[in-house]
Structure 1
Amino acid sequence: MNNSPWQLNATELAGLIRTKEISCVEAVESALARIDEVNPRINALPVVLHEQALAAAAEADRVLARGVAVGPLHGVPVTIKVNVDVAGGATDGGITALKELVAETDAPVVANLRRAGALIVGRNNAPSFSLRWFTDNDLHGRTLNPWNPQVTPGGSSGGAAAAVASGMGPIAHGNDYGGSIRHPAWACGVVGLRPTAGRVPAVNGTSKDDRILSNQLMSVQGPLTRSVADARLALSVMAEGDPRDPLWVPAPLEYAPGVQPLKVALFKKHPAFASDPSVIASLERSAQWLIDAGCIVEEVEPPHFEEAAQLWREMLNDDLRRGGKPAIEALGDEAVRTVFGWQLATPPAGSADRVLGAYQRRLTIARAWSLFFVDHPVLLMPVSWSKQFPIDEDRRSADRFEQMLLEQSPLTATAMLGLPGLSVPTGIDGGLPTGVQLCASRYREDLCLAAGEMIERAAGYSVLKHLA
């Protein structure tokens, strides 16, 4: 083995641990050493669990020595976002007032990772209330993009993306309500998988109330990794059912092969404004790579695209006015309060008829997309219509915030529909990573992953070649 354990992807590392070429302690020690080296500069992990992780690794080695069957991630270091319950740790969400909110039990996604043998080495940073495409808060400070500290590492799972990109662990947990897995993965040059809503069970025992309705329909838990294969592996683990979440759906992870060759819709032109040239170039390269791999690619715009993005904001705003506004205004830091105020400004609060009508309209749009995917099972589109935002760009002005929402419509439109999406890196432009997003119909993550591997192979990109 030429690489240090921290440089290996999860699939490789798990295989070497099972054959005892690397011990669990060696894997964790390597990850912790890398964290100690780079985390002080990047601040991706505000909490590093040195003693706990090493003790868990020693026990994992004893289990392996007994010859019993082990899980697919046995001994693999992982990190967990600060807004999800980890037993014995604080679920602070980057909120100072919640720094003593200690979880008694693991959230389902954390319990699933542990059952698979994963070892938690730290907690990923996030913005306060996870409501920005930037990762900064008063409690833990700012996470930097390891490529360039002047631009965002993405949000809200920016700590997860920065940690994976810089070698602090091969798998990081994130969640995605309006792009919070896909955006930071793209911003930091790693793979980010947003599963279908209902695919991965979700609940936090530290929460006093159940999730608001838009969150139930749109928010998901998922992995950030350095390879598509690792995203597939992590999904198989995270998607195990849990009776605490009655919305979990036992859908298969793989389906029988469909009509071949695979037809892909290319969506590269925003209907309202010109996107960044690097975005267009990345899409066109990816389309050609898919053609070279045997796919049929046709330029097609998905139905009701802008309306879907606008409906995301409308549904989110009406829900947050009822279920989040008091807490955000009372406990949020200055940045999130400013941005949240602009978020709620448009559209203004609506009547009950308008609120209920939005959910009715959502079904109409979802049906149109479902029919769209019959002819084009995979959609190739941007993650964002712009390059990575400068730090705190969302705080510059209300007008700039409105423009940023338009630029993020590939994230919000798909989240509104609860669809799966995969962010795949494609290369580097101007010193920053580029990438594309692949979407498919509900529970067809397998199509996103298959197309993602075609792009990954052709791109020949490796984030650690640049950041190691």
Structure 2
Amino acid sequence: MDNLTATEIADGVRSGKFTAAAVVEAHLARIGEVNPQVNAVTVVLADRARQAAATLDERIAAGEDPGPLAGVPISVKENIDLTWSASTSGLPFAAGNIPPANATFVDKLLAAGAIPVARGNMPDIGLRWDTDNDLFGRTLNPWDPARVPGGSSGGDAVAVATGMVAAGLGNDYGGSLRLPAHAAGITALRPSAGRVPGPTRAVEPLPLSLQAMAVNGPLARRVADLDLLFGVMHGADDVDPLSVTVAHPSGYDGPRRVAVTVDPAGWGVDPQAAASVRAAASALAAAGWEVEEVEPPSVDRCATLWRQLSSTENAPMLLTPGVFPGPLSAGTVQYFRDNIVDVALLDTSAAYQGAWAERFVHAAAWRAFHARYPIVLGPVTTQPMPLIGFDLSGPAAATDLWRAHRLLVTANFLGLPAVAVPTGLSGSRPLGVQVIARLHGEHIALAAARDIEAAFDPITPVRPRS
């Protein structure tokens, strides 16, 4: 059962083909077999998961509707509130931080029949494109353990890719859903800003960039599962003041035009990344989309402003002693110190305010561009996933990573929805692309991603390579 998709599991449990208890046991066994090799799962929620499965099976036997996610085993990232275990964000000093309530979208998924079976690993605070911390250690890439699994939702991506769970919950501030999904050979949806409320019900004085650019979303092995989960988890709550409720259509029947950017901003692209984009463009053309190679507006400037704003706002938090009740990992601190060496920090109020004001100019340009091209197709990252330790090898490496991830962070900067979707394998390297739609156009991005996915054979679940 650990090779079934979330949709297949929900359909099977609802129809009585198999029980939720059997599904949970199969995935707990898979965790026991695989997790020692990859360290993607931090906490196994075996007792609570078994209890939830038994309750769900009793409801089904009594003739009740178990919900659209009946029996689907999921993982929940370490910074998303689930009262079954601590929300640690990978920090040793937060190991006892049991939340008082679930995140709103977690409650929605539980009510729909989903069953958390594990927590997913992450870098501490989530501010690194790798998955390692001092509390739980390093998550390994199941395709190539010498290379990073991406971050920050790396644990959940690897758990999904290896069949330990059918779907995962993560978040995305600078590609933290799409990048690890790409590295693992699975799919992920970064929703529009505000479509899914925050990972906690607490209201905290977070940096504005985190509030405006970070979102919560699902990871899964198939695009249909992303649609299924997002259809349940989206919608405003009474806590997050930036959350919104917007209808999520079941399909898309609008204009089918695609702007293809092979080398965003012309900063250079790996040949296999370029070939993946063109292969995905061919798949869309074969599915009836009108495809044109044309550059979206100001990717260079959007990526630069994302880096300036995120660095300016996070520097006081990460580099000032005493902000946290304990130390951050040496890797996170080193990466951030190296990262800001090449950043022109916005150290005056005029520069800071000007950057946020300029964001609206670029958002307007993208809105007009999306009116012509409902989908922008491009690479997730323009370079292969790096070897472990690359991001800690100095300021030049930190800048290289940001440049490779420029289209990722452009979507964050503008608050736009995007889907990462695999396009096959090259040796032991998963290949893939992302599609970016207009604000609240998740259904458009999902429709394009489905058509790309249909042209390529699935590559997961994967058995970890030694």
Contact 1:88 1:104 in 2 (8 A): no
Q: Output the amino acid matched with 1:462.
A: I
Give 1:285 shift: 0.6
Q: Are positions 1:249 and 2:244 aligned together?
A: yes
The residue number in structure 1 matching 2:391 is: 394
The residue number in structure 2 matching 1:425 is: 422
In structure 1, distance between residues paired with 2:16 and 2:345: 60
The residue number in structure 2 matching 1:239 is: 234
What's the TM-score, normalizing by structure 2? Answer: 0.96
- Between the two proteins, what is the percent identity of the paired residues? 38
What SS is found at the alignment partner of 2:7? helix
Q: Are positions 1:229 and 2:224 aligned together?
A: yes
What's the TM-score, normalizing by structure 1? Answer: 0.95
Residue number among 371, 374, 385 corresponding to 1:374 in the alignment: 371
Contact 1:329 1:337 in 2 (8 A): no
In structure 1, distance between residues paired with 2:250 and 2:235: 17
Give 1:343 shift: 2.6
The residue number in structure 1 matching 2:329 is: 333
Matches within 5 A, 1:342-353: 342-345=338-341, 346-353=343-350
Residue number among 314, 325, 331 corresponding to 2:308 in the alignment: 314
Residue number among 151, 171, 185 corresponding to 1:155 in the alignment: 151
The residue number in structure 2 matching 1:278 is: 272
Structure 1 unaligned blocks of 5 or more: none
**Cα shift readout 1:306-365 (whole Å, capped 9, x = no counterpart):** 000000011112222355543469521000000111233312342001101111000000
Q: CA RMSD, aligned part only?
A: 1.7
Residue number among 46, 52, 72 corresponding to 2:42 in the alignment: 46
Give 1:466 shift: 6.4
Q: Are positions 1:29 and 2:25 aligned together?
A: yes
Give 1:64 shift: 1.1
In structure 1, distance between residues paired with 2:284 and 2:264: 21
Contact 1:88 1:105 in 2 (8 A): no
Structure 2 unaligned blocks of 5 or more: none
In structure 1, distance between residues paired with 2:195 and 2:345: 32
Contact 2:170 2:218 in 1 (8 A): yes
Give 1:272 shift: 4.3
Give 1:463 shift: 1.3
Superposed structure 1 runs of 4+ greater than 3 Å apart: 255-260, 270-273, 321-330, 465-468
The residue number in structure 1 matching 2:402 is: 405
In structure 2, distance between residues paired with 1:269 and 1:136: 30
Residue number among 361, 365, 369 corresponding to 1:364 in the alignment: 361
Deviates more, 1:175-184 or 1:335-344: 335-344
The residue number in structure 2 matching 1:19 is: 15
**Cα shift readout 1:22-56 (whole Å, capped 9, x = no counterpart):** 10100100000000000011110010011111111
In structure 2, distance between residues paired with 1:365 and 1:329: 38
In structure 2, distance between residues paired with 1:47 and 1:126: 12
**Cα shift readout 1:248-295 (whole Å, capped 9, x = no counterpart):** 1111111885544x1100000243432111101101111111111111
Contact 2:264 2:378 in 1 (8 A): no
In structure 2, distance between residues paired with 1:221 and 1:330: 26
In structure 2, distance between residues paired with 1:44 and 1:466: 13
What SS is found at the alignment partner of 2:241? coil
In structure 1, distance between residues paired with 2:67 and 2:314: 39
In structure 2, distance between residues paired with 1:401 and 1:169: 32
Q: Output the amino acid matched with 1:236.
A: G
Count of residue pairs the alignment pairs up: 462
Contact 1:198 1:248 in 2 (8 A): yes
Q: Are positions 1:300 and 2:294 aligned together?
A: yes
Give 1:246 shift: 2.4
The residue number in structure 2 matching 1:57 is: 53
What SS is found at the alignment partner of 2:244? coil
**Cα shift readout 1:201-242 (whole Å, capped 9, x = no counterpart):** 11424x672432111110000000000000000101111432
